[in-house]
Amino acid sequence: MFANYLTDMNYTSRLFVTILLTTFFISVYTSCDAQEDQSLGNWNAILIKGKISPKWSLLGEGHIRSSNYDLKYDYFEIKSSIGYSVTKNFTALLGTGFFNTDEPGGFFRTPALQKEFRTWLELNLKQTFTRFYFEHRSRLEQRFLANNYKNRLKYRLGLLMPVNKAVLISGSIYVAVNDELFIPQHGVTLVEKNRLYLGMGYKINPNAAFQIGCVNDTDYKSGGHTVKNYLQLMLIYDFTNMLKKHI
């Protein structure tokens, strides 16, 4: 029954429009009266992924970040996950990661302000409508901090759209947009963070792509909102073709 809903074009179109509008209005509403940090931060990332069998896949990520564009990095995260393809477009993943936040203004200045270990269960749904590549990502996180434990739900709606070609192939220039809501189990606000991304990408070859874009990071607290913008550079590499003859 649920699968029939997903393949019903009228239903999915209405669903996408509803989610898009809901996410947009939440983003606009929660960004009102925000205190904005005018300095541009630097955010670099690398993502490596690929299938190791027809059903199983691996993913690894590394991120470094600085509050200003002085390359004095004060944050890093390392993440990995294993996924199982339930269907062609629906994947369940189990992930884990380490997140380190240091005092701004130095190059990974110690001692760290916060160290955090996370595990999560993720559900990923992809659908394509002509040249529009949609992705829904829902993630239930378990957060282990120094003296605390927290649960959090994250939902991200993403869109890739090739500009110079009909489909995403080598040589494609594409637009990448996504918006992610961070919803704590217990908190003073319904949404504690909203992360909006707008960028452009280039498909270098069947295995690799490069993206550059702006991340608008908004934190919501009972006393008000704060906004920080980052210029993000990301390299994406898919090793599936290297293993294809073995799977």
Listing DSSP states for 115-129 in one string gives EEEEEEEEEEEEEEE
Rounded CA separation 93/83 (Å): 4
Q: How high is the pLDDT of residue 188?
A: 81
Q: How high is the pLDDT of residue 25?
A: 52
Across the chain, which distance is largest between two alpha carbons, in Å? 56
Q: How high is the pLDDT of residue 187?
A: 79
Where do the domains of the chain lie?
A: 2-246
Q: How high is the pLDDT of residue 236?
A: 98
What is the length of the chain? 247
Bridge partners for 27 per DSSP: none
Rounded CA separation 176/196 (Å): 11
Q: What are the phi and psi torsion angles at 109 (to 5°)?
A: -65, 135
- Topology of the domain covering 2-246: Porin (2.40.160)
pTM for the structure as a whole: 0.83
DSSP state, 206? S
**Could you list the mean pLDDT of each consecutive 10-residue stretch along the chain, which spans 247 residues?**
44 52 51 64 96 96 92 93 97 98 81 93 95 96 94 97 94 97 90 96 97 95 87 97 71
Rounded CA separation 210/80 (Å): 20
Alpha-helical (H) ranges within the chain are: 2-7, 9-31, 240-243
Q: How high is the pLDDT of residue 161?
A: 96
Bridge partners for 199 per DSSP: 176, 213
Q: How high is the pLDDT of residue 237?
A: 98
Contact yes or no for 56/63 (Cβ under 8 A) = no
Rounded CA separation 234/44 (Å): 6
